[in-house]
Amino acid sequence: MAKFAMLLLPAVAALTALATNPGAENEAVTVEAWGRGGALLYTLTAGTTTLRITDWGATITSLTMLDPRTGKDVDIVLGLDSLEPYMDGTSPYFGAIVGRVANRIKDARFTLNGTTYFLMGNDHNNTLHGGFIGYNNILWRSRVASKDPSSPSVEFLLYSYNTEQGFPGDIDVTVTYTLSGENELRVELIASTRNKMTPVNLAHHSYWNLAGHNSGSILNHTVKILASHYTPVDALLIPTGEIAPVAETPFDFLEPMSIGSRIESVPGGYDHNFALDKTVRDDEGLYHAVTLEDPVSTRKMEIWTNQPGVQFYSGNQIVRIEGKGGAVYSKHAGLCLETQGFPNAVNQPNFPSVILNSGDVYNHVMVHKFSSSL
């Protein structure tokens, strides 16, 4: 870990100087030192919406939007007040970029071109979100990409070396966060390999609560997932390899359903990959994946993406985490909707491939569109 911090200190020092800019509070992007080890915290502002991101794990720490009922700001992602709990393992991937391969890889191994690669097993001898030191546990390089008040943007960059956590090949990763006005958050993840073929499957891991991060359970939220099929899992949440229809199961969210209405029929709660239908596209060619809505505030979030799947996680394993502003997060305090390739695709030839060839570019886009009926 110290190696990454030492390599990145020159960039950190240069960027920290931006925080001393007089009048910075009037700018669309500001930056300040945050915690130990040279980490930074960026603040992006577009109208009444404010997004905060740290370069530790390229992590969103807060997203505040105006509540149309009260006129007050409401933070709709779970998070922590300081850097230390993100670093010491308290955070269950709150707001982070996870990789090199998001989700689970069975038995912490896979075979590519006749070579078996042994990974770091950090989840019941399986690999979860890249291993013990995934991308959420690394200090990224960072820079302001745009200070345009209508579309402020910050870019995070990472070099991931050959054999890191057992994965082959040297790759370069870029993540860009953009507020496209006050009602849209765009996340774009790009990766390329310098030499060897390697699996790449990045994901953004925010925990959402559209009523506010400190409002309690999300079980009354309604969700619509444009997926006629999902991938069933075993007792350790590894896909069995089947791509099964959602019809007549608790996984049928083709029409809006409250999360809590059938969750008791799903052992442990929702933590499953849905195979997107890809039937509704926008002008950019992104697929409409999910619509999430809080019935109290009437806040709605649509997610559009170019990925084949979305992992729906209902926050089943959150256990008394001390969050921002004195909030205490418990089971179902937030939910994740992670667009990505299918879990364990490296070991399931019938799943869409997550292998990145030399010379190719991995490009993952997810756009969050917010609205309210008030």
Return the active site residues: 205, 338
Helix (H, G, I), strand (E, B) or coil at 5: helix
* Distance between start and end Cα atoms, the chain: 47
Helix (H, G, I), strand (E, B) or coil at 334: coil
CB proximity list for 300: less than 8 A, separation 6 or greater: 210, 291, 292, 293, 294, 370, 371, 372, 373
Report the alpha-carbon distance of residue 74 to residue 214 in Å, rounded: 9
Report the alpha-carbon distance of residue 124 to residue 122 in Å, rounded: 6
In the chain, count of helices (H) and strands (E)? 2, 29
Q: What's the token pair of residue 118?
A: 């042994």
Place of tokens 């256990």: 319
Q: What's the token pair of residue 112?
A: 């590519």
Residue closest to 58 by CA, chosen among 129, 136, 130: 136
Q: How far is CA 309 from CA 72, 202, 370, in A?
A: 35, 12, 21
